[in-house]
Structure 1
Amino acid sequence: MAFRIQPFEESNVVSRKLLRMRYAVYILKGEPHPTEGDGRRRMLITMDTAHDDLICCTWIQRTLPKARVAFRSNNRDVQAQMCVRGGGGIAVLPIPLGNSFPQLEIVDLGEEPPSRDTWVGYNKDLRKLRRLRVLLDLVIERLSN
């Protein structure tokens, strides 16, 4: 079983949409909020350059075109930590992760960052495997709560 952010296209893989992850823009509580279309004198905490083409990266750079990238990491938890400890950086984070940091607050920039689908895939020969079915049901149940 594998999880990824795009559907599986292999002919021998059963692919199914598992969840839609929503994102928000976060900043350290008490910091002044940036204004959409500006971002002057603001620092972005974003994905590393290998992931520059991700829609959340292009969205935040388009929304705050005058902000400069101050820190990059492909780990969202590290981005959240830097947002807390880095002194005023702005990060686009999955809402469950961002909300788990009480030091952070959501910034309203007029629209929510693009959400992202997560897909689960497994070999079609495993379709009737009871253990796999039970595990998938458990994952889906946990995600729906």
Structure 2
Amino acid sequence: MPQKPTDLAAIEWEDLRYFLHLAREKSLSGAARKLGTTQPTMSRRLELFESKLGAILFDRFPSGLRLSDTGRQILDYAERMEDAALAAQRIAVGSSAGLTGTVRVTSPEWLGARILSPLLAKFCAAHPTVTVELVTDAEALSLTRREIDVALRFGRFQQDGLMQRKIASIPFELYAAAAYLKAKGPPDFSDGGADAALITMNAALAESVAETKWLRRYLPQAHVGFCSNSRDGQAAAAAAGAGLVCLPTRLASAYPALRSIKTPAPVPSRELWLGFHRDTGKVRRVRAVVDFIAGEFRQFA
């Protein structure tokens, strides 16, 4: 049972930072990974903070943590304090005029590996005093919390305070391996592809991608033989003969075994958006990276 609070002035920003990560990750282990610390340390920090406040902030369950009523109330104030602290930090960073330092960029995995990395290599060669860190991760990193400086996403950004622009329309086509087509032939769209095998996104992502809806419309009788949240994983499976797959044309070109398939209607393209916070966008090195990426992607427009 938490003790009666004795010194509220002793509460520090670090207390709230640990609390915010626990609230977002809903587990000691998840928050520990985010903060680069250990689960026992997170547990001790939580117990100390609850002792300082004299209140239970989380209900503990085998599946993880859930905010208590008091915790939910404190979360609102903690997030406001975080916003204020980050705004001050962005203003301070934005006052730096030099084209030096690190710029963190995030993008979908295949885009980062196949397209963005070679482009950013050109930027690094032209600006040797700037370090570009590319993070390709399925998890969306936050621009507002300064986890990242520049983000590329398929779809608009929803957070407040961001600047964003559509920088490309990425074409997709339907593909299969030559060996698959030799064995089964191209899909029969007239009967819904009853004998066809499909390669798609995992179920958790399938509903959010346009090409899955396209496949269901034109090949409703086909069965899903393989699914993955990795575009490269899908392409590799298709190249090995696992079935039909909708892929970005630039990714498919990296797999010689794949063949484009004529379809009754075009596979939907995907809009690529570039986003950054309006404050960090004032930093010369960040703006330089933003303008460079946007310029390089004009070829896809």
TM-score by length of structure 1 reads 0.91
Stretch of structure 1 that moved more, 33-42 or 53-62: 33-42
Residue in structure 2 matching 1:35, options 188, 198, 213: 188
For residues 40 and 9 of structure 1, the distance between their equivalents in structure 2, rounded to whole angstroms, comes to 39
> How far apart are 1:88 and its partner, in Å?
4.9
Matched residue, 1:17: 166
Quick one: which amino acid aligns to residue 246 of structure 2?
V
Matched residue, 1:68: 223
Question: Going by fraction, where is helix more abundant, 1 or 2?
Answer: 2
Task: Spell out, residue by residue over 1:69-108, the C-alpha distance to the aligned partner (whole angstroms, 9 max, x if none).
Answer: 00010111000100011x2500000110012211111111
SS at match of 2:189: coil
> How far apart are 1:12 and its partner, in Å?
0.8
Task: Count residues in correspondence.
Answer: 144
CA contact (8 A) 1:22 1:114 kept: yes
Residue 285 (structure 2) pairs with residue 131 (structure 1): yes
For residues 8 and 80 of structure 1, the distance between their equivalents in structure 2, rounded to whole angstroms, comes to 27
Structure 2 alignment gaps of length 5 or more: 1-149
Quick one: which amino acid aligns to residue 43 of structure 1?
A
For residues 231 and 159 of structure 2, the distance between their equivalents in structure 1, rounded to whole angstroms, comes to 28
Matched residue, 1:79: 234
Quick one: which amino acid aligns to residue 92 of structure 1?
C
CA contact (8 A) 1:45 1:89 kept: yes
Higher relative contact order (CA 8 A, sep 6+): 1
Question: Going by fraction, where is strand more abundant, 1 or 2?
Answer: 1
Residue 246 (structure 2) pairs with residue 97 (structure 1): no
Structure 1 alignment gaps of length 5 or more: none
Displaced runs of 4 or more, over 3 A: none
SS at match of 2:274: strand
CA contact (8 A) 2:226 2:242 kept: no
For residues 118 and 36 of structure 1, the distance between their equivalents in structure 2, rounded to whole angstroms, comes to 29
Percent identity, aligned pairs only?
A: 31
Matched residue, 1:7: 156
> How far apart are 1:137 and its partner, in Å?
2.4
For residues 288 and 212 of structure 2, the distance between their equivalents in structure 1, rounded to whole angstroms, comes to 36
For residues 222 and 154 of structure 2, the distance between their equivalents in structure 1, rounded to whole angstroms, comes to 27
> How far apart are 1:118 and its partner, in Å?
1.4
